[in-house]
Amino acid sequence: MAILEVQNLKKQYGKSKVFAVNDISFSVNEGEIFALIGSNGAGKTTTLRMISTLLQISSGDAIVNGFSVIKQPEKVRECITYLPDEAGAYKNMTGIGYLKFMAGMFSTDSNTIDQYVQTAIKTSTLGERINDKISTYSRGMIRKLLLSRAIMTKPKLAILDEATSGLDVINALEIRQMIKDLAHNDGMSFLLSSHNMLEIEFVSDKVGIMAHGNLMVMGTPNNLKQRYNAPNLEEVFERVVKHNEIL
């Protein structure tokens, strides 16, 4: 079952003839991790923001769990979560205090709030540090806290922009595994963007390569490597984007 269907999505700014996103279409199934990769300015973040209802669509549409981003944005927001690259947390709060505060934004029922918080605590893997002030957390710990907040309501679709940007190897690996577990064990769908090709090769079920607002090619990591006779996604990306080799 498709949780997300992107249909001929376009984004044009002002009267410019240049499209930030140019007529792209793809789908994400239930429990699937779909990644958009590309250089700066390729259109990845613009695509994510349109699907998240944060940016107006110029033409086309995106259907999330049966709801149109254009016609039913409030329904879409009920079944997604969006974690931008620049997201932060309130550093004067403790981790547990932040999670309780955020859970209260989604429900007024105390039992539901507690359920959300317990889900987030388990997902964060912060242990006793969840009781400490966020100001004492490392960047990796903050990112784990933010990700656990993003999935506490168990959304149908989690949209993550550069989920592990700036993290060390250990923290990045832990967050990648966290995403895989949520998708493959809990059935949550993910739409990711990243510059890190090796990360995407490890975590994703399907990949779309973007350049200059266009979705150049998509497929599973293994399928793409076989099609381009490449040992890794970095070389696939280079051939697709640098040499415009589209199969």
Separation between Cα atoms, residue 179 and residue 44, nearest integer Å: 19
How many residues in the chain? 247
Under CATH, what is the fold of the domain 2-79+155-243?
Rossmann fold (3.40.50)
Burial of 134 (0-12, 13-18, 19+ CB in 10 A): buried
Report pTM: 0.90
Write the CA distances from 222 to 4, 138, 206, 210, 225, integer angstroms: 22, 34, 9, 18, 5
What are 138-193's pLDDT values in tens digits? 888 898 899 899 989 999 999 999 888 777 788 888 888 889 999 998 899 999 99
Q: Express each pLDDT in 83-122 by its tens digit.
A: 887 767 788 899 999 999 999 998 999 999 999 999 999 8
- Alpha-carbon span 223 to 41, nearest angstrom: 26
Q: Tokens in use for 121?
A: 């605590």
